[in-house]
Amino acid sequence: MEKRIFELTINEFKGGIFVKEAAIVSAVRSPIGRAGGALGKIPPQYYGAEVIKEVIKRINLDPTEIEDVYFGNCFNAGGNIARLSVLQAGLPMEISAVTLDRQCGSGLNAVNLAAQAVMAGMGDVFVAGGTESCSLRPYIMEHMEFFSRTGPVFRKGSQLSTDEIGNPPTRWGSQQKIWRKNIRLAV
């Protein structure tokens, strides 16, 4: 009986099951630059790594407590950006990481998935967010002639762009009255 009372004080009872509550305990963002600007040659995993390191530092977290890392990224090719960020941050190899691509909503989706994982009892500590570099985003090729003298042919207007898909995180932040100027930078 004592165990059940203890669970009721920590968890919320919903529909016959106990659901853990999830909370954001540290929030950090990286600097924002212009495409092709001073930050344009820095790979996105470096931004991700700095944010991860700063989150850990601010709450004095033992990195071995991290269950998983979820990062959103939609523009950059070249592998699992979440995993690359974890390794660049110097975290233990045992920490798994997954990259999500939901275009502009990727970072927010990563945070939601981490919260759902906590609520489902899959773990207690997750790192979630997103990282991008619009300067390093790939171009879409019409076709590639590997041995041609002319090289690749790019589609006109083919650089991946947020113009067509909008900017849901900015709209959501405005609705929730969360402004970029109120979030402390990692670097």
Q: Which domain holds residue 44?
A: 26-177
Residue 74 CB neighbour total at 10 angstroms: 20
In a domain, 5, yes or no: no
Question: Which amino acid is it at 168?
Answer: P
In a domain, 186, yes or no: no
Both tokens of residue 175? 């609705």
In a domain, 170, yes or no: yes
Q: What is the pLDDT of residue 132?
A: 84
If residue 44 lies in a helix (H) or strand (E), which one and from where to where? Answer: helix 44-58
* Residue 112: exposure state from Cβ atoms within 10 A (0-12, 13-18, ≥19): middle
Q: What phi and psi values does residue 125 have, to the nearest 5 degrees?
A: -130, 120
In a domain, 84, yes or no: yes
In a domain, 6, yes or no: no
CATH number of the domain encompassing residue 42 = 3.40.47.10
Q: What is the pLDDT of residue 173?
A: 67
In a domain, 184, yes or no: no
Domains contained in the chain, number: 1
Question: Which amino acid is it at 33?
Answer: G
- pLDDT per residue of the chain (187 residues) written in tens, 0 to 9: 333 333 333 455 556 667 788 999 999 988 888 888 888 888 889 989 999 999 999 999 999 999 999 999 887 767 899 999 999 999 999 999 999 988 778 889 999 999 999 999 899 999 999 888 877 776 666 656 665 566 655 555 544 444 444 455 566 667 767 666 665 544 4
Q: pTM score, two decimals?
A: 0.70
Q: What is the pLDDT of residue 105?
A: 84
In a domain, 104, yes or no: yes
Q: What is the pLDDT of residue 171?
A: 64
In a domain, 107, yes or no: yes
What does each C-alpha distance from 32 to 36, 46, 118, 179, 181 come to in angstroms? 12, 13, 30, 13, 11
3-state secondary structure of 182: helix
